[in-house]
Amino acid sequence: MGGRLARIRNQSILFGPSQQALFALNEMGADIWRCLEDGLSPEAIASEIANRGINRHQAVEYVDAAVRQWERLGLIRLSPAWFAPSSLDHV
């Protein structure tokens, strides 16, 4: 992972070293980032979010959108298998 997450004055800040840029993350984004750092699968990350009371289908969409955006920004580089269809796509 190319970024570093820090908590500064109650705000989650992601630093992208290759861009020399800072990105403010909401709590869900920060949680998704931390789960990625821990090596969780897309299904496991979506489950973590759903356990907090968010609709499972929405959780999958949040994870997918965040990861795709971070990949476009060059903050992460994931294998194509990470985006492979899963059982969660049919929720």
What pLDDT tens digit does each residue of the chain (91 aa) get? Answer: 778 999 999 999 999 888 889 999 999 999 999 999 999 988 899 999 999 999 999 999 999 999 989 988 888 887 766 666 554 554 4
| Phi, psi (deg, nearest 5) at residue 11 | -125, 135
Give residue 56's pLDDT.
Answer: 92
Strand pairing class (4-8; 21-25)? unpaired
Look at residue 32 in the predicted model and tell me its pLDDT: 95
pTM: 0.82
∠ CA(28), CA(45), CA(91), 5° rounding? Answer: 105
Contact present, 2 and 76 (Cβ < 8 Å): yes
Output the pLDDT for position 33.
95
Q: So what's the pLDDT on residue 85?
A: 59
The residue type found at 90 is H
Amino acid at 23: F
Distance, in Å, from the CA atom of 60 to the CA atom of 64, rounded to the nearest integer, reads 6
Distance between start and end Cα atoms, the chain = 29
